[in-house]
Amino acid sequence: MKYSDTQRLQKIYEYATRLRDCMKEKNITKESLLNDYSMQWLVTTPLYNIGEHVYYLSSEFKNQHPDIEWNLIAGLRHRLVHDYDGTNWSLISDVVFEEIPALIKKIKNLV
């Protein structure tokens, strides 16, 4: 299915907020994310989905909103998918605990 930029942005927002809410509900901490394989699996799917939708946003849209690190978000998805065994979980924990909340705030203003 082909999505518009607006639809993709809504999907990104939904996946990010669901990830945040699920982490709170399950009491996921940085430590548990670093050491618990099931928690790692839980956070990767939303990150894949966010990155995939970001990758397919139009260049025009991304250029209109340069304050969001679109290339880093899409690049993270590619790294998770293609180099799963080489995942730096310390970096991923920083992403989900620090970058996702910041992304939610930025995206909320655009949705």
User: Domains in the chain: how many in total?
Assistant: 1
pLDDT-derived band at 85 (thresholds 50, 70, 90) equals confident
17 vs 47: CA distance, rounded Å: 11
Output the pLDDT for position 78.
85
Q: Which domain holds residue 66?
A: 5-108
What is the distance in angstroms between the CA of the first residue and the CA of the last residue of the chain?
20
Separation CA 29–CA 3 (nearest Å): 34
For the question of whether the overall pTM of this predicted structure is more than 0.85, the answer is yes
pLDDT tens digits, 50-65:
999 999 999 999 999 9
